[in-house]
Structure 1
Amino acid sequence: MPREQLVLARTLRFNYQTESDMKIFGKYILGSFALMVAIVQVSCKREFLEIVPKGQAIAITTADYEKLLNANYLATTFTAGVYQGDEMAALQPDFSNLEGSELLRQQRLFKYEARVYDVAELPNEITGETNYIRRLYLFNKIINEVMDSKGGSDDQKRALLAEAQAGRAICNFMFLSDFTKPYNVNTAGNDLGIPNLTVADVTQKDFKRGTLQAGYDLVIRDLNEALPNLGALTHRRKISRLAAEFYLSRVYIAMNNFAAAKTHLDAAFLEAQKAQIPMKLYDYTMVLDADNPDAEGSWLPDGFFGLENVPIAANNTETIYNINAGWFQFQAVNAFVFGPQTAALYGSTDRRLNLYSPFQLFTTTAYPLGMRRRNTDFFTGINVGPSLPDLYLMRAECKARSNDLSGAVTDLQILRAKRIAGTAALVPSGIATNQQALVRFILDERIREFAITGLRWLDMRRLSVDPVYSNHIKFTHKIYDQDGIEKSSYELKPERFALKFGERMLNESNGLQENP
């Protein structure tokens, strides 16, 4: 990283506290940063996985590394899982009218095609400016250098090291979730993992993939080593002990190790009580009450681009650690919706429906069969990082799987009471007392809570190797016309749970082995 870029990075402390601060940040500072990055990139030769522009950051003091860390945030754009989730459907003619490499990629992902990228393309999952590989370089730099930095105390250095270790773990988990098959304890020691990058070296050329087990082991080790030196939650773009406990839970659930996940979920709830910024669930029965859109704090009514009063990440009391996933494109907004089977999961008093529009953008034309498109976060992006609703749903599932049915129902109903008006928020008695029925109900609740975010894809991956609940996955994507008539369908094959790197990536990376 050239000195000029580091100097600019030092200004990006992400200390916005209000919505107006964030708007100023987005309009002026972030635009300048994007321009600087673009200038630097044009002059630099691409390296493996687009890790970082050539050059080296000049960081000497502990304060330098802190500023570098504060500017190192994670975000994704058009996350692959959004288009692969089984809650999704597509509509003609919008789907066929998609043009351009990014929109073509979205079509291919939805159709579960083996080839997502053309021969000359590099994967967006890896090369995106704020995606995990570029961020991984900077986390590794801090991990390897901060303890030798000048001017700070040992406690300060260990705290920065811990944040970087947790950041590296998050990056590697995202990498594993995109480019490896789902974790299976019986085969993970032989299955292909990822190149386990632990140094910030732009000259590195050999990228042999380790085993899947080694990849998950590194993620867990980094998070566990980070925990003792992480602090309480003070900022939604700062990695806290709460965020690390959350990710340990998410990783263990991805490994179908629910007992280990439950231990860290309990620890996460204790950490949530120590948060130094507000942490609470929003009451959708109030903020999304269509019968009272002018109430104080309401997210209604719709603006020109949907719900404009949804709190930004800096102020969102449900957000633990913000990882933004941008999704909005004019050409595609009417092409991808949640499907009829997903629509059937919502009751009439479920206020989460108001986060999705039943009408095509800028029209009063309704989608057929109850299908809806996303109606929030057009320009700010969706948070796919740790959140309070996810904590409740993960713990409910862990409790249900261990046969603590009453505990699972309690966690589940705390969330549902904030989402669904009236007695419909209660878990039906016949489900509440049946373990398998309750687990399936919780899995459905995850769809209701996280539709069109890409998080369902993470659930599909782990469920695909679950001996009891693998049939909760729907392996078919369907495309409908404007009258709701099915026009075509596409089947998900097991090998498509891992993206392919593509020819260009393989040619530029010694030892990198392709997925089937």
Structure 2
Amino acid sequence: MLKYIYSTLIGVILLSAAGCRKYVEIPPVNIKILKNTSDHQALLYNSTLLELSYSNPLYAADDLESDDIRWQTALSTVNANIYTWGEKIYSNTEEDADWQKLYEQLYTCNTVINGVLDSEGGSEAQKKTIQASALLHRAFIFHTLVNLYAKQYDANTAATDPGIPLVMGITFFNDLSRSSVAKVYEQIETDLNTALPALNNLPDFPTNASKVGAYGMLARVNLHKRNFAEAKRNAELALSLKSSLLNLGAITTHPTRNLHPENIFFKRVSSFPVALPMTASLESLFDTNDIRYTTYTAPASIFWQPTFTNRSYAKQRVIYDGINTGPSVPEMMLIKAECDARADNTAAAVATLNALRQNRFKPEHYVAFTASNSDQALRLVLDERRRELMGTGMRWFDQRRLSKDNGLMPTVTRVFKGTAISLTPNSNRYTFPIGDKYIQYNPEITQNPR
């Protein structure tokens, strides 16, 4: 698999206009492909590759659902398998685009991490900043992969739960046995903490690395580890560097990603469906005065040849340069609020929620949240995550981690072509299977139980 995946990147590394080849020779010994510091920086400016994250969680999460047989029939076989949490998703010959793209990105990051310090033409400070940038990108990749293809982090089992192949080098032939979930998380945190000192506080463009992006990832990582004190600390560090919000009640046009005040470390959904029919449970969470509801969702009738009747997520029709899945100001506020609620700091949690939500309503329509205890505050936070982060696929990762909380993640049931299918908390189906194609190439990669 390493040769199969990495070979598609050689064309990029060589900066070839001819595109990527399926299999290529290994470069001759003692010939440098990348010589200058600027060459390594150029690799990280390839946002077309590095900004991609995932797409499969959009179909798996409980934010998307339609009982309309027309919509269900229109699904591709792969998307239908994801939607129904199938035992198999891909055939023996099919690519898993999420797996493939993330490991392609990893090759680029490892190339920079392992080579830039020995490059020519740049200062030591520049080289360290470039390496730190690649470390942040790599941390995002590892965190995404381990949350797609391994069990949710659990302190009691993480040391033995199979994680992902933790590829750190750029050679074609490595042992691809799966490192433990604990070891993957340890490497993620090592990458982020190593990167921090050399990064600038803020990025020049939100697709590039910065301290605020590293703090944002540390907040997300610690939230998934249930280390809520550290998650809050890093969310606050991120917010100390960037805390700007977009007031939806005061704008007429929506800024692009490079000008959007809320973007911290921009990544985007790699393949977005034409329409995402919303579940009734998600739609019921919205006040109809919420501008996110009136602007970012729409009835099916606005879509060409609609194949469902329920309302759909429609932000992609307002903002055309991708749906952000990377750390953002709203996410940092929501992490801070959740951690406060879990620490019984009800007033602080609700205050943070109101600071966010008042930017999602016109002033005359906003009614502030109140909560009498931390349990109520936590429920408010989790509902707000569903509203604020809808359409990003992040709900799938929340479902996984909330399965560890008694009562916070119910069983999800869908009816697909007349058959009821259920997903229970902590089910093996919360972990995507690894494509059979990659296991055939590399038998040391063990399959996930289904």
**TM-score, structure 2 as length reference:** 0.89
**CA distance in 2 between partners of 1:179 and 1:126 (Å):** 9
Where in structure 1 are there 5+ consecutive unaligned residues?
10-32, 46-52, 273-278, 288-297, 300-309, 481-486
The alpha-carbon deviation at position 424 of structure 1 amounts to 6.0
1:319 aligns with 2:263: yes
Q: Specify whether residues 394 and 360 from structure 1 end up closer, same or farther in structure 2 by C-alpha distance, changes over 3 A only.
A: same
Aligned length: 433
Give the whole-Å Cα distance in 2 for the aligned partners of 1:269 and 1:398.
Answer: 15
Match of 2:430 among 497, 501, 510: 497
**8 Å contact 1:147–1:157 — kept in the other structure?**
yes
The aligned counterpart of 1:412 is 353
The superposition leaves residues 375-407 of structure 1 with CA deviations (integer Å, 9 ceiling, x where unpaired) of: 425853211111111111111111111122111
Aligned residue number for residue 41 of structure 1 = 21
Using the TM superposition, give the Cα deviation of residue 286 of structure 1 relative to its aligned residue in structure 2, in angstroms: 3.1
Q: State how far apart, in whole Å, the 2-side matches of 1:253 and 1:387 are.
A: 15
Residue aligning to 1:19: none
In structure 2, do the counterparts of structure 1 residues 214 and 442 end up closer, same or farther at CA, with 3 Å as the change threshold? same
Match of 1:79 in 2: 55
CA separation in 2, counterparts of 1:478 and 1:350? 30
Q: Distance in 1 between matches of 2:94 and 2:328?
A: 34
Counterparts of 2:320 and 2:369, CA distance in 1: 38
Aligned match for 2:95, one of 101, 122, 143 = 122
The question of whether the paired residues in 2 share the 8 Å contact of 1:349 and 1:424 is answered with: yes
- After the TM superposition, which residues 94-105 of structure 1 pair with which residues of structure 2 at under 5 Å, given as runs? 94-98=70-74, 103-105=76-78
8 Å CA contact 1:74–1:324 kept in 2: the answer is: no
Stretch of structure 1 that moved more, 488-497 or 249-258: 488-497
Q: Secondary structure at the match of 2:91?
A: coil
Report the Cα distance in structure 2 between the residues aligned to 1:319 and 1:211, rounded to whole angstroms. 32
The match for 2:316 among 376, 383, 386 is: 376
What is the distance in 2 between the residues matched to 1:363 and 1:508? 41
In structure 1, how many angstroms separate the alpha carbons of the residues matched to 2:54 and 2:298?
A: 19
Given the alignment of the two structures, is residue 231 of structure 1 paired with residue 200 of structure 2, yes or no? yes
Partner Cα distance (1:204, 1:364) in 2:
48
Q: 1:471–1:158: structure 2 CA closer, same or farther, 3 Å change rule?
A: same
Which residue of structure 2 aligns with residue 290 of structure 1?
none
| Alpha-carbon shift at residue 124 of structure 1 (Å) | 1.5
Residues of 2 paired with 1:172 and 1:427: CA distance? 38
Q: Say if 2:84 and 2:416, in contact at 8 Å, map to a contact too.
A: no
Q: Which amino acid aligns with 1:503?
A: D
Establish whether residue 433 from structure 1 lines up as the match of residue 397 from structure 2. Answer: no
Q: Is the 8 A contact 1:206 1:510 kept in 2?
A: no
Asked if the contact 1:245/1:268 (under 8 Å) is kept, the reply is yes
**Aligned to 2:258, what secondary structure does the other structure show?**
helix
Work out whether 1:245 is the aligned partner of 2:215: yes
Range with bigger deviation, 439-448 or 141-150: 141-150
Structure 2 counterparts to residues 232-381 of structure 1, below 5 A: 232-233=201-202, 234-272=204-242, 280-287=244-251, 298-299=252-253, 310-330=254-274, 333=275, 336-353=276-293, 354-362=295-303, 368=309, 371-377=311-317, 380-381=321-322
Tell whether the 8 Å contact from 2:207 to 2:265 is kept in structure 1 after alignment. Answer: yes
Question: Residues of 2 paired with 1:265 and 1:96: CA distance?
Answer: 39
SS at match of 1:261: helix
Q: Deviations over 1:327-377 (max 9, x none)?
A: 4445xx3xx411111111001211111201113344698965x63232425
Alpha carbons of 1:60 and 1:473: their partners in 2 closer, same or farther (altered >3 Å)?
A: farther
Is the Cα contact below 8 Å between 2:139 and 2:189 reproduced in 1? yes
Residue 414 of structure 2: aligned partner: 477
Q: Deviations over 1:195-251 (max 9, x none)?
A: 1111011x2142111111001000011101111111121211111000000000001
For the residues of structure 1 that align with 2:307 and 2:286, how far apart are their CA atoms?
Answer: 17
- Letter in structure 2 aligned against 1:215: V
For residues 428-478 of structure 1, give each alpha carbon's deviation from its aligned partner in whole angstroms, at most 9, with x where no partner exists: 43xx22111110110000001111210111111111122x4x433442234
Task: Give the aligned partner of residue 441 of structure 2.
Answer: 508
| Structure 1 pair 198–361 and aligned structure 2 pair: CA distance change class (3 A) | same
- Amino acid paired to 1:438: A
Q: Whole-Å Cα distance in 1 between the matches of residues 233 and 315 of structure 2?
A: 36
Superposition pairs for residues 217-228 of structure 1, below 5 Å?
217-228=186-197
Q: Tell me by how many angstroms 1:69 deviates.
A: 2.0
- Structure 2, unpaired ranges of 5+: 1-6
Whether the aligned pair in 1 keeps the contact of 2:354 and 2:369 (CA below 8 Å) is no
Q: CA deviation at 1:150?
A: 1.6
- What is the distance in 1 between the residues matched to 2:85 and 2:10? 43
Distance 1:58 1:408, change over 3 A: same
The alpha-carbon distance between structure 1 residues 237 and 75, as it changes in their structure 2 partners (threshold 3 A), is closer
Q: 1:54 to 1:495 in 2, by over 3 A?
A: farther
Which of 56, 60, 66 is 2:35 aligned to? 60
Identity %: 26
Select which of 398, 401, 412 maps to 1:462.
401
Partners of 1:260 and 1:367 in 2: CA distance = 43
Q: Secondary structure at the match of 1:490?
A: strand
Of residues 171, 182, 190, the one that matches 2:160 is 190
Distance 1:489 1:260 in 2: 40
TM-score by length of 1: 0.78
The equivalent of 1:109 in structure 2 is 82
Q: Distance in 1 between matches of 2:72 and 2:284?
A: 26
Cα separation, 1, equivalents of 2:102 and 2:224: 18
